[in-house]
């Protein structure tokens, strides 16, 4: 089991990254899953939109894309995050960059744990769980 963070062509570095990665492990365990191999890749808008086009056939910018390689209850995958989109979101939502990055890391992890956000109801349910975990990470 290994949860890691990589930086792809960006200058940004997450402070206390090991603490954040340990927290993602906690999220996975509390969601009744087993942590496996999980990689967070912090990248740019341009790279994330290319991934979105190539693998999801979506031609738009986004803040996070999660690729699920789970084996039963073992969480394996890659979560790509645009640090530029996270910075914009932090300004728009009037939260710190750290808090918004934690939200998208939690969001991607929850996708791998089985949560969806395709419908309004699913988005609302996922937001409640995200908010719960954001409160927990601040403690």
Q: What is the pTM of this model?
A: 0.94
Residue 60 has pLDDT above 80, yes or no: no
**Tokens representing 118?**
């395709």
Q: Tens digits of per-residue pLDDT, 41-53?
A: 999 999 999 999 9
Which domains occur in the chain, in start order? 2-138 (3.40.390.30)
Enumerate residues 6+ apart whose C-beta is below 8 A from 63: 48, 81, 82, 85, 86, 89, 104
d(CA 62, CA 52): 8
């Amino acid at each position: 089991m290994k949860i890691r963070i990589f930086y792809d062509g960006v200058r940004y570095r997450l402070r206390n990254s090991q603490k954040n990665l340990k927290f993602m492990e906690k999220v996975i365990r509390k969601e009744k899953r087993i942590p496996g191999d999980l990689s967070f890749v912090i990248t740019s808008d341009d790279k994330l939109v290319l991934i979105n086009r190539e693998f999801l056939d979506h031609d738009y910018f986004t803040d996070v894309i999660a690729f699920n390689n789970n084996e039963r209850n073992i969480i394996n995958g890659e979560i790509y995050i645009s640090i530029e989109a996270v910075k914009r979101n932090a300004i728009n939502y009037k939260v710190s960059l750290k808090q918004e990055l934690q939200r998208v890391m939690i969001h991607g992890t929850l996708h791998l744990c089985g949560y969806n956000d395709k419908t309004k109801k699913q988005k609302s349910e996922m937001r409640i769980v995200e908010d719960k975990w954001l409160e927990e990470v601040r403690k």
